[in-house]
Structure 1
Amino acid sequence: MSHKSTGALSRQYFLYFAVLGVFLPYFNLYCYHIGMNGLQIGTISAVRSVVMVAFTLLWAALADRLMIRKGVFVFCNILSAVIWVFMLSAEGYGSILWISVIHAIFLGPMIAFLEAFTMETLEEDRGMYGRIRVWGSLGFIIMVVVMGRVAELYSLWLIVPVILAGFIAQAVNSFKISGVSSRGGGLPSRGIKDIITARSSVFLAVGFLMLVSHGAYYGFFSIHLEKEGFGNLFMGVSWAVAIAAEITVMIFAQVFLKRFVMERVLLFSLIAAVVRWGVLGLTSNAIIILLSQCLHAFTYATFHVTSILFMDQLSSREFKTIGQSLNNSVQYGIGMMVGFFLAGYLYEVAGTAFAFIVSAGISGAAFIIMWAYQAKPSGSLQEPREPLG
């Protein structure tokens, strides 16, 4: 593991999540301000997720079979920047929907490939994952605060060109990522069969529900705050508090992974989600909202780190990309798709507060499934393994 290799990975995480720091809090708000309703916003987000699921797995299968992971990764980074150019002139629901769909074809696999590159670069130092991934959180928090202030002073229209600049920077840096080749030589169906077990199925089901519960947050949190009377600056600060909590966990991930078994980390994360979404659905107090954002350390950070390392354990070397792509597709693809559709519908019929209450119930259901499975004598998710880093 070289400093040069980890440096390129850290920069790519920084750039990828810096773009998300603009996109997640402000793009749906931008769509809302140009006249879209909640169902249209939810549909765009959900359809993007569908496309990202399908093409993440297709790109991963192609890359692992032909041993061209880096080539596919660079190609997708370049095309994502090129296609986003058309968003500069998009004005209505139809045009933004189609551009988003085509863009998702190439955006989808980028994070799964990056996770696979990172796991293989770290090798036996997998516990160091959090210290590389934390650069993504830093990128997110910087951009969410900066763009909150920029949007307050100038206009939400600036987010589209800022996102474009981020995609261009990612494309440039993608050439510097060290590609790790698989043995290849066959279809990846055997690797998928090995990955899909009772343990992994329960985990993926729980991850699916956890991300469904995040649909209201990622899709409508900023809109929720605006309807409660908060400005763009408070929105930016709220998102920043969440990412600051996430950064803390990422830095110390190696410590808690050595001290706590996987099931306890997951169960605690799910309980934190129940509390967090319940708070957002029941109060409009600024201080309480900011305090609830600290729970992002558990609803996202601990859950995410555990997910990445768990799938890495399950995947043989030649199927690392498939493993991470499967995890990413089920959680951030299908889970977010259902979450966005559900949140968009609930927003239209009952408002954002009710959507967050439903989210609390969904994460509660995930907790029950996880608890019931791990309570069985043979129900442990975690196989015996060597200590992480």
Structure 2
Amino acid sequence: MNEKHEWKSSPKRILGLQYFLYFGVLGIYLPYFNLYCYHLDFTGFQIGVMSAVRTVTTVLFPLVWGAVADHFQIRKPVYILCNFISCLIWALFLFTTDFRLMLLICLFYGIFYSPVISFLEAFTMDVLGNRKEQYGRIRVWGSINFILFVVLIGRLIDLQSVDIIIPWILAGSSIQAVLAIRIPDTALHQKGSFGPGARVLLQPRLLIFLTAAFLMLLSHGTYYGFFSIHLEKLGYGKTFIGITWGLASVAEIVTMMKSDAIFRKISMEKVLVAAFLTAVIRWLILCFADSAAVILASQLLHALTYGAFHIASILYIDQFIPSEAKTFGQAVNNAVTYGLGMTVGFLINGMFYDQIGSSWLFAASALVALIGGGLMCIKAK
């Protein structure tokens, strides 16, 4: 009873709402924004350029804003600023369908929106204090809303048109920006300075971890880029493909809801190693399997390869980064993994898909995950 009251009355509720809104917006943006551009008659090259601009901002600007926030100890003001300005910039999409203008809007939107998630992770770690294993129970609201909005907006697009995504994203971002004002101010007057704190990231154990994490997300390039195509070539229909993605998301949600129990019993290092080894098995299964039952079973492994791995990564960075550089630390983690790792993964898979096909790409993904797991084992020793 006390725990329920604590959730309703504490900053955890605000953080849960922020994740809920952030990933709800992402559930519209990721699946449907490129589709919107396609319906504006943009060429494949133009859509690719816009995607590349978004990727570059995802890698670079969380680091810039994270450094500014930690150096001047202004995390909350920067977070609010980025939310409101990115919201205003997005509104400009309502007034133009010109490629060059939309490219500029994408650039400036990315500059201000890309750091939001790493700031949110840093706020959450501070609020949880010595109960950081509960992170998944807050983060899970993002995963739930992501699924809801992917399905809801997809249905609304079928009933109306893809044009609805611009006002829907604006509405979600506006609510998130307003609620950002209520986010807990966890800034402290730190005794240490930002520079020495940030240099902790150059320690061998963290460099090894970041390299391994980069490899883990690189190994996901085939899955996120070509899994649906892989299944279609095996003869499966859209309904089955949708079920496989949904099953993976459910597995991820269950893991996040149970994360406090998992991390009370098992160390972060062991969870990370297990996630890498599970990724090797998962990619090998997708390399060789054509059975519906086996493919569905392999999707349950998403609980470890994404759910448990993501939580352990956030906790691991938080454990070793001093308080005066925590925002920057989470920004580096996101930039190296979901920014650089995913980008390189998509690029390599795109280059070799026509030559070797998705099955061999999944085999290569297993090898990459194995190398990452080997690095984690070395670090653990």
TM-score range, shorter chain: 0.7 to 0.9
AA in 2 matched with 1:217: Y
AA in 1 matched with 2:60: A
AA in 2 matched with 1:50: V
1:183 and 2:216 correspond: no
Aligned residue for 1:124, secondary structure, equals: coil
Instruction: Please name the residue that 1:83 is paired with.
Output: 89
Instruction: Please name the residue that 2:304 is paired with.
Output: 298
Instruction: Please name the residue that 2:3 is paired with.
Output: none
Instruction: Please name the residue that 1:106 is paired with.
Output: 112
Structure 1 residue 234: Cα displacement: 4.9
Give the counterpart of 1:10 among 16, 36, 41. 16
Moved more, 175-184 or 69-78: 175-184
Instruction: Please name the residue that 1:359 is paired with.
Output: 365
Is contact 1:60–1:325 with CA below 8 Å preserved after alignment?
A: yes
Moved more, 348-357 or 331-340: 348-357
Give the counterpart of 2:257 among 232, 251, 255. 251
Query: Structure 1 residues 159 and 148, CA, compared in 2 at 3 Å: closer, same or farther?
Result: same
Query: Structure 1 residues 289 and 158, CA, compared in 2 at 3 Å: closer, same or farther?
Result: farther
AA in 1 matched with 2:21: L
1:20 and 2:57 correspond: no
Distance of 1:17 and 1:51 partners within structure 2: 18
Instruction: Please name the residue that 2:374 is paired with.
Output: 368
Give the counterpart of 2:128 among 110, 122, 134. 122
Give the counterpart of 1:55 among 53, 61, 73. 61
Distance of 2:233 and 2:103 partners within structure 1: 24
1:73 and 2:79 correspond: yes
Mapping for residues 219-230 of structure 1, pairs under 5 Å: 219-222=225-228
AA in 2 matched with 1:243: S
Is contact 1:81–1:164 with CA below 8 Å preserved after alignment?
A: yes
AA in 1 matched with 2:152: V
Aligned residue for 2:189, secondary structure, equals: coil
Q: CA offsets, 1:23-67, max 9 Å, x none? A: 334444555675654x76665444423222221111111111222
Instruction: Structure 2 unaligned segments of length 5 or more: list them.
Output: 1-5
Structure 1 residue 197: Cα displacement: 1.3
Structure 1 residue 293: Cα displacement: 2.3
Query: Structure 1 residues 87 and 298, CA, compared in 2 at 3 Å: closer, same or farther?
Result: farther
Moved more, 135-144 or 221-230: 221-230
Distance of 1:98 and 1:282 partners within structure 2: 43
Is contact 2:201–2:207 with CA below 8 Å preserved after alignment?
A: no
Mapping for residues 134-149 of structure 1, pairs under 5 Å: 134-149=140-155
Aligned length: 374
Query: Structure 1 residues 237 and 152, CA, compared in 2 at 3 Å: closer, same or farther?
Result: farther
Distance of 1:31 and 1:286 partners within structure 2: 34
Query: Structure 1 residues 285 and 164, CA, compared in 2 at 3 Å: closer, same or farther?
Result: farther
Distance of 2:100 and 2:230 partners within structure 1: 24
AA in 2 matched with 1:162: W
1:167 and 2:180 correspond: no
Is contact 1:90–1:96 with CA below 8 Å preserved after alignment?
A: yes
Is contact 1:282–1:353 with CA below 8 Å preserved after alignment?
A: yes
Query: Structure 1 residues 54 and 244, CA, compared in 2 at 3 Å: closer, same or farther?
Result: same
Distance of 1:280 and 1:36 partners within structure 2: 32
Aligned residue for 2:187, secondary structure, equals: coil
Instruction: Please name the residue that 1:385 is paired with.
Output: none
Distance of 1:355 and 1:161 partners within structure 2: 38
Distance of 2:162 and 2:267 partners within structure 1: 44
Moved more, 319-328 or 345-354: 345-354
Distance of 2:26 and 2:291 partners within structure 1: 26
1:329 and 2:355 correspond: no
